[in-house]
Structure 1
Amino acid sequence: MRVERALCALMVIGLVSGCTSSGDDKPVIKDPSPAVAASAPPWTEPAAYSFTLTRGCGPAPIGEYRATVKDGVLSAAERVGAVPVVPSSSAEVDLGPVTEGQQGEEIDVPTLGELLGMAETAGADGATVATRFDTTDGHPVQVKINVEDDPAAAECWNVTEYKPAS
C-alpha cells in the first residue's frame, strides 16, 4: 500500500512540475501530421488549371476524373478508367448529382474552389472536415468530410496532377 501511495505521489509531482514554466518559454504547437504543413502558402484559385480528382478513402477509389477549368468554370471532365459502383457511405453529404452508368458512378466534378467551399459548408454544418494542402503552392490535395461518428462513413477527395495553365 505504501509503495502505491509513493508511486502516485511521484506521478502527481511529475505532472505538476511538467506543467509549469518559467514564463519565458513559448508554447510549442506540434502539427500531428507532417504532411499537413503549417507553412503551406495561401492558395488562390487560378482562372485556368487541370487536375485529377479521385473520390474514395480506401485503397479502391469510387471514381477518378480528369478535369479542366477555364475562366474559373469546369470546362471538361472525363472519367478515368472504370471503377465498380460502390454506394456512397454517407448520404447526408451533398457531393453533387450522381448517376450510375455502365462505367460506374458519374458525378458533377467540382472545381477545386468548389471542393473547398463544400468542405467549408460541411464544417459549418457540424461535419468533421480535414483538408490538406500542397506545401509548395498551397493547392488542396485532400478533402475529407465525415458527417457521422463512424470513420468508415467519411467521404474523401484526393487531388493529383494539378497543373495551372501557363
Structure 2
Amino acid sequence: MVRFERALCALVLVGLVGGCTSDPAEPAPATSGPPPSAPAWTEPAAYTFTLVRGCDDTAPEGRYQATVKDGVVTTATRAGGAASPAPSSEADLGPVTGEEGEEIDVPALGQLLEMAETAKDDGAEVATEYDLTDGHPVKVTINVMEEVDGLECWTVTDYQP
C-alpha cells in the first residue's frame, strides 16, 4: 500500500510540474487592459504652441504659432503659405491681415478643450488625443454631423510650457 501511495504521489507531482510549464514555442497570452492614459493636464500660466487647422495633413487649412499667457492668446501669427479653400467651401478668404487665406482667432489650448466639450454637449462627435508625457491636448477632432462640411480637426505641435 505504501508503494501505491508513493507511486500515486509521484504521478501527481509529475502532472503538476508538467502542467505548470508552458511550451516555449507558444506565445504568451496577450494582456488586455486599457491603453496607457495621459496624466491630467493643467493649463500653465504661459506657453507657446503651433496649431494646425485641417483634417488633411498634406494640405492643412492653416498653421498658426501662438503664445499664451494666463489662458489667453497674446500673439498668433500665421506660419507657412496661404490656405486654399475646398471648392465647395463658403469660407470667407479675405486678406484680413494682408495675407491670403482664411484667418481665425487662434484659441488657447484650454479654450480649444472648452470648444470641444461644448460641441460634444451640442451632439457632435468629438475625439481628443493627449500627450502621454504631460497630458496637453495634441489633437481635437469635431464632427458636426448635421453639416455637410462639419468635420474640423486641430493638431497641436511644438508645445513649450
With normalisation by structure 2, the TM-score equals: 0.69
Deviation at 1:152, TM superposition (A): 6.8
* Map of 2:61 onto structure 1: 62
CA separation of 1:151 and 1:46: change in aligned 2, threshold 3 A: farther
Matched, 1:154 2:136: no
Matched, 1:100 2:98: no
Which aligned pairs between 1:26-65 and structure 2 lie closer than 5 A?
28-31=32-35, 37=36, 39-58=37-56, 59-65=58-64
Matches of 2:114 and 2:152, distance apart in 1? 15
RMSD: 2.7
Matches of 1:135 and 1:60, distance apart in 2? 26
Deviation at 1:29, TM superposition (A): 4.9
Write the letter of the residue equivalent to 2:138: V
The alignment of Structure 1 onto Structure 2 pairs a total of residues equal to 126
Deviation at 1:83, TM superposition (A): 2.6
* Map of 1:22 onto structure 2: none
CA separation of 1:114 and 1:137: change in aligned 2, threshold 3 A: same
Cα pair 2:93 2:100 within 8 Å, conserved? no
Structure 2 residues not aligned, in runs of 5+: 1-31
Write the letter of the residue equivalent to 1:42: A
Matches of 2:87 and 2:134, distance apart in 1? 31
Matched, 1:122 2:119: yes
Aligned partner of residue 158 in structure 1, secondary structure? strand
Tell which structure's C-alpha radius of gyration is larger: 2
Deviation at 1:129, TM superposition (A): 0.2
**Could you give the per-residue CA deviations for residues 34-62 of structure 1, whole angstroms, max 9, x where no partner exists?**
xxx4x200000011000000000012100
CA separation of 1:76 and 1:82: change in aligned 2, threshold 3 A: same
Deviation at 1:73, TM superposition (A): 1.3
* Map of 2:140 onto structure 1: 143
CA separation of 1:132 and 1:48: change in aligned 2, threshold 3 A: same
CA separation of 1:128 and 1:151: change in aligned 2, threshold 3 A: farther
Deviation at 1:30, TM superposition (A): 4.9
Q: What is the percent sequence identity of the aligned residues? A: 58
Moved over 6 A (4+): 88-91, 149-152
Structure 1 residues not aligned, in runs of 5+: 1-27, 32-36, 92-97
With normalisation by structure 1, the TM-score equals: 0.67
**Could you give the per-residue CA deviations for residues 76-116 of structure 1, whole angstroms, max 9, x where no partner exists?**
0000012333159898xxxxxx7531421110000000000
Matched, 1:111 2:118: no
CA separation of 1:72 and 1:88: change in aligned 2, threshold 3 A: farther
